Amino acid sequence: MEVLYKSTRSNAAPVRASEAILKGLSEDGGLFVPDHIPALDKSLKELAGMTYQQIAYEVMKLYLTDFTEEELKTCIERAYDIKFDTGEIAPLKEAQGAYYLELFHGSTIAFKDMALSILPHLMITSARKNKIKNEIVILTATSGDTGKAALAGFAGVEGTRIIVFYPKNGVSPIQEKQMVTQKGDNTLVVGIHGNFDDAQTGVKKIFSDKELAAEMDAKGFQFSSANSINIGRLVPQVCYYVYAYAKLLSEGKLTEGEKINVVVPTGNFGNILAAFYAKNMGLPIGKLICASNDNKVLYDFFRTGTYDRNREFVLTSSPSMDILISSNLERLIYRITGEDADRNRELMTALNGQGVYEISDEMREGLKDFYGHYASEAETAAEIRRLYEACGYVMDTHTSVASAVYQKYLAETKDNTKAVIASTASPFKFTRSVMNAIDEKYDAMGDFELVDELSGLAKVNVPNAIEEIRTAPVVHDKQCEVDEMKNTVREFLGL
């Protein structure tokens, strides 16, 4: 059955998957959601015998119904190849009774690669299907991880260009080095003199600039978005939950139909929403455990039914979760209003204006599969140390937030359902925080010295992504003021 995509904010006519991918966001500002969540059409046993790529096809074919089998399989083959340092793509590691689903084996060693390695292929296929002749220009503001993953995904992809703006003094040294060493004639990386919000606001402004859009169209360009609200990012993320279940089943760690709980370190709510979709497709998932850091808007929301972003923004050691507006939550809110676009729009308007909204008791009923908690900075560090000392497994700060929250869940509920914890970044990406958590003595060491130390400690080879930037030449050194962003784009496109 065909799946069409409708907006969360209006009753406008739904669009096909390829159109939703090209557009990113609906014109009314809403997010595209599938008009129904398709059910898995293979048994768990059948899935248990499949590779990652085969499962990705079985899941994605149900959502991207206007893609042909050949188109989709080609996209999957190009995405999940030797860019990943393991044929398993997303291996599971058992540590102290929980299963850590390592989503960081792609080219930029964070889980964004799971979706951003396939999005460019989905996008050019969508462009071809919709007879778009223009070159697609991806415009992104990044606080670190998304920028590099999007660059790596789009670099060298014919028919696309990518421009990334990042706050010049607002990303980690490793993150910056990863971006400014990005090769590819179709890439541009620019450090702006401002913070992430400035970058994000600047990008949104350029996106909605109608004059610029017309000028670009005349020259054969059009913008699109690699942002996590694009369904072309959400759908590929559903696959690894199905894969994790299939893998546990094939290894005899589960009996067919046995439930698992899923724990996700959450920022923009994309990753955990994908788990929710997997559950609604029929994957036996019990609780969806949503883990936050000190920016615990979601924890408060699940406890009280009030979403309130009016609070201090805290900088933590898990920066990819430092977020006060979780954009993908809108898809869940829409669903628990009973798919009432008007009601959802009211709530989102309140969030934009007053920064707060409250949901009804009836809507809260729709959240009963979710459990929210958070981990402080001290708890996050202690959890890294605890797991390392207990079994030698070293995880990154984001994963540790999830792991610590899982411990709280266990203590509170005594629910011993097997748990899969989404492990969203390699510890090598956040080496200093990770090593300091294990022992304060490491603070005196240099960045790359720490990398070697971690490699010895964790008995894990230094990932390619890190080896590369040790010696890679800087190829992007462009900087600009916030109000020069548009000109920078024009210049790059030769307008």
Ligand X SMILES: *Cc1c(COP(=O)(O)O)cnc(C)c1O
Backbone φ and ψ of 310, nearest 5°: -75, 90
Question: What distance in Å separates the CA atoms of residue 112 and residue 117, rounded to the nearest whole number?
Answer: 8
Q: Is 288 in contact with 272 (CB distance < 8 Å)? A: yes
Question: What distance in Å separates the CA atoms of residue 262 and residue 192, rounded to the nearest whole number?
Answer: 37
Q: Is 352 in contact with 20 (CB distance < 8 Å)? A: no
Maximum distance among all Cα pairs of the chain, rounded to whole angstroms: 62
Per-residue contact string for residues 419-458; x = within reach of ligand X by CB under 6 A: -----xx---------------------------------
Question: For the CA atoms of 317, 323, 327, 329, what is the dihedral angle to 10 degrees?
Answer: 80
Considering the complex, state which of residue 7 and residue 271 has its C-beta at the smaller distance from ligand X.
271
Considering the complex, state which of residue 52 and residue 269 has its C-beta at the smaller distance from ligand X.
269
Q: Taking CB under 6 A as the rule, does residue 265 contact ligand X?
A: yes
Question: What distance in Å separates the CA atoms of residue 62 and residue 143, rounded to the nearest whole number?
Answer: 32
Nearest CA-CA partner of 470 in 452, 492, 495: 452
Report helix, strand or coil for 224.
strand
Question: What distance in Å separates the CA atoms of residue 238 and residue 282, rounded to the nearest whole number?
Answer: 12
4 token code pair: 């069409």
- β-pairing verdict for 32-34 and 92-95: unpaired
Question: What distance in Å separates the CA atoms of residue 459 and residue 4, rounded to the nearest whole number?
Answer: 47
Question: What distance in Å separates the CA atoms of residue 219 and residue 133, rounded to the nearest whole number?
Answer: 11
Q: Taking CB under 6 A as the rule, does residue 147 contact ligand X?
A: no
Considering the complex, state which of residue 111 and residue 374 has its C-beta at the smaller distance from ligand X.
111
Of positions 107, 140, 186, 320, contacts ligand X by CB under 6 A: 320
Considering the complex, state which of residue 58 and residue 322 has its C-beta at the smaller distance from ligand X.
322
Question: Which residue stretch of 8-16, 251-259, 260-268, 345-353 sits at the interface with ligand X (rule: CB under 6 A)?
Answer: 260-268
Considering the complex, state which of residue 50 and residue 387 has its C-beta at the smaller distance from ligand X.
387
Residue type, 10: S
Question: Which residue stretch of 43-51, 264-272, 362-370, 377-385 sits at the interface with ligand X (rule: CB under 6 A)?
Answer: 264-272
Of positions 18, 107, 224, 271, contacts ligand X by CB under 6 A: 271
Q: Is 334 in contact with 347 (CB distance < 8 Å)? A: no
For 237-258, letters b (16+ CB in 10 Å) and e give: bbbbbbbbbbbbbeeeebeeee
Q: Taking CB under 6 A as the rule, does residue 267 contact ligand X?
A: yes
- Smallest gap from Cβ 222 to ligand X, in A, equals 26
- Smallest gap from Cβ 266 to ligand X, in A, equals 4
Is 112 noted as a catalytic residue in this protein? yes
- Smallest gap from Cβ 111 to ligand X, in A, equals 6
Q: Report the site for ligand X in 335-394 (rule: CB under 6 A).
A: none
Question: Which residue stretch of 109-117, 177-185, 329-337, 441-449 sits at the interface with ligand X (rule: CB under 6 A)?
Answer: 109-117
Q: Is 167 in contact with 196 (CB distance < 8 Å)? A: yes
Of positions 260, 321, 387, 434, contacts ligand X by CB under 6 A: 321
Question: What distance in Å separates the CA atoms of residue 18 and residue 3, rounded to the nearest whole number?
Answer: 11
Q: Taking CB under 6 A as the rule, does residue 480 contact ligand X?
A: no
Question: Which residue stretch of 65-73, 79-87, 104-112, 376-384 sits at the interface with ligand X (rule: CB under 6 A)?
Answer: 104-112
Considering the complex, state which of residue 140 and residue 266 has its C-beta at the smaller distance from ligand X.
266
Q: Taking CB under 6 A as the rule, does residue 171 contact ligand X?
A: no
Q: Taking CB under 6 A as the rule, does residue 294 contact ligand X?
A: no
Q: Taking CB under 6 A as the rule, does residue 142 contact ligand X?
A: no
Catalytic entry in 6, 112, 148, 279? 112
Of positions 398, 432, 454, 466, contacts ligand X by CB under 6 A: 398
Report helix, strand or coil for 181.
coil
Q: Taking CB under 6 A as the rule, does residue 17 contact ligand X?
A: no
Q: Taking CB under 6 A as the rule, does residue 143 contact ligand X?
A: no
Q: Taking CB under 6 A as the rule, does residue 105 contact ligand X?
A: no
Applying CB under 6 A, the site for ligand X has a residue count of 17
Question: Which residue stretch of 33-41, 105-113, 292-300, 433-441 sits at the interface with ligand X (rule: CB under 6 A)?
Answer: 105-113
Q: Taking CB under 6 A as the rule, does residue 270 contact ligand X?
A: yes
Question: What distance in Å separates the CA atoms of residue 280 and residue 294, rounded to the nearest whole number?
Answer: 30
Q: Taking CB under 6 A as the rule, does residue 16 contact ligand X?
A: no
Sign of the Cα pseudo-torsion (237, 243, 248, 249, in order): positive
Residue type, 4: L
Question: Which residues are at the interface with ligand X (CB under 6 A)?
Answer: 110-112, 145, 228, 265-271, 320-321, 398, 424-425
List the catalytic residues: 112
